[in-house]
């Protein structure tokens, strides 16, 4: 378990930033100051990421809030779950509120990876009404998107519980958001596939098409170029390709869009020799049947490219 120390924060003025250390400030009886899941961004990266998001929303020039809310108004509020799911993105939401009000008091009740139900409070806040209102949308955008990914991942993980299958993500991520979206998969109990094109070898159908379908050649070339110890994975559409990948010395086979019968046969041929991964159109309705074939891993692109936002709201509860 690693401590979560929110990043240094520039003041919201237009002058030079004044860097001050920050922590999650206690509010009431309970103070949570640990982020149990290692966050993928550094403190400086969190600050910069959120600053860009707030500037995109013109949160420092919020005409609606300045026009309607006096600068001395202070409020208490809470971010509340509207349904059941898994939380992810808390450090980014905290940073959004901090950048609009450096004195805001926050108590986090549900850190990333926490399962919540409707009515559960994710965090309590107390501070300037203007800052809270101007940061609200940015904070919720982070939380709702990343919690949506974590929640969908948890549903897939729950669906294969009791089997040996792991749920993997893919590289089908929002450009610029990969580290955060894959982090949200981990928050939901899933496992990350390769992070990028350099971190692993996956010989896909178009790679094979470009060299006449020669799996042995592809594996040999990859083995000669990749860093020692790198797993070599081959995408296979047929059982004949599975046999060729095993013979070529692949470490891992991706069984693409195979029927359940084909998956069972492929698993039997690969058992004890190579890792098996099922992929292609996997849904919550089909994932358990796929897992029951005995595959080691199941990759699901929908975790990151199609997860619905998790419903959260900021509720004001008094002055």
User: Catalytic pick from 172, 223, 269, 288?
Assistant: 172
pLDDT digits (tens, 9 = 90+) for 244-301: 999 999 999 999 999 999 999 999 999 999 999 999 999 999 999 999 999 999 999 9
User: Catalytic pick from 109, 256, 277, 296?
Assistant: 256
User: Catalytic pick from 82, 115, 137, 223?
Assistant: 137
Task: Assess whether 269 carries a catalytic annotation.
Answer: no
Positions in the chain short of pLDDT 70: 1-35, 318-319
Task: Assess whether 256 carries a catalytic annotation.
Answer: yes
Model pLDDT, residue 3: 34
User: Where are the alpha helices (H) located in the chain, listed in sequence order?
Assistant: 43-56, 63-68, 90-100, 129-159, 178-187, 205-210, 215-225, 239-248, 260-270, 287-291, 302-305
Instruction: Report the distance separating Cα 125 and Cα 101, nearest Å.
Output: 11
Taking the CB of residue 148, how many other CB atoms lie within 10 A of it? Answer: 25
Model pLDDT, residue 35: 64
Model pLDDT, residue 319: 59
In this structure, what token pair is assigned to residue 266?
């492929």
- Domain 157-305: assigned CATH number: 3.20.20.70
Model pLDDT, residue 24: 45
- Domain 2-150+308-318: assigned CATH number: 3.90.1170.20
Task: Assess whether 172 carries a catalytic annotation.
Answer: yes
Model pLDDT, residue 29: 33
Of residues 49, 73, 44, 48, the one with CA closest to residue 134: 73
Indicate if the alpha-carbon torsion angle 165, 199, 35, 83 is positive or negative.
negative
Task: Assess whether 235 carries a catalytic annotation.
Answer: yes
User: Catalytic pick from 30, 117, 198, 204?
Assistant: 204
Segments making up each domain of the chain, as ranges: 2-150+308-318, 157-305
């Amino acid at each position: 378990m690693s401590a979560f120390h929110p990043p240094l924060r520039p003041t919201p003025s237009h002058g030079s930033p004044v860097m001050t250390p920050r922590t999650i400030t206690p509010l009431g009886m309970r103070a949570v100051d640990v982020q149990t899941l290692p966050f993928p961004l550094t403190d400086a990266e969190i600050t910069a990421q959120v600053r860009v998001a707030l500037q995109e929303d013109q949160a420092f020039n919020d005409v609606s809030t300045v026009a309607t809310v006096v600068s001395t108004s202070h409020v208490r509020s809470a971010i509340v779950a509207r349904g059941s799911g898994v939380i992810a993105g808390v450090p980014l939401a905290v940073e959004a509120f901090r950048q609009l009000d450096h004195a805001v008091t926050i108590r986090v009740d549900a850190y990333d990876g926490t399962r919540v139900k409707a009515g559960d409070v994710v965090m309590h806040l107390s501070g300037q009404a203007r800052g809270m209102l101007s940061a609200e949308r940015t904070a919720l955008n982070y939380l709702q998107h990343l919690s949506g990914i974590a929640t969908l991942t948890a549903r897939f993980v729950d669906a294969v519980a009791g089997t040996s299958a792991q749920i993997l993500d893919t590289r089908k991520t929002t450009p610029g958001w990969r580290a955060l979206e894959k982090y949200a998969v981990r928050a939901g109990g899933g496992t990350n596939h390769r992070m990028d094109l350099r971190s692993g070898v996956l010989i896909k159908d178009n790679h094979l098409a470009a060299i006449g379908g020669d799996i042995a050649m592809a594996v040999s070339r990859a083995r000669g170029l990749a860093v020692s110890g790198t797993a070599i994975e081959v995408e296979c559409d047929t059982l004949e390709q599975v046999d060729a990948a095993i013979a070529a010395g692949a470490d891992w086979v991706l069984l693409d869009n195979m029927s359940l019968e084909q998956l069972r046969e492929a698993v039997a041929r690969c058992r004890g020799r190579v890792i098996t991964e099922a992929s292609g159109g996997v849904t919550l309705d089909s994932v358990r049947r796929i897992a029951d074939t005995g595959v080691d891993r199941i990759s699901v692109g929908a975790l990151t490219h199609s997860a619905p936002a998790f419903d959260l709201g900021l509720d004001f509860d008094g002055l």
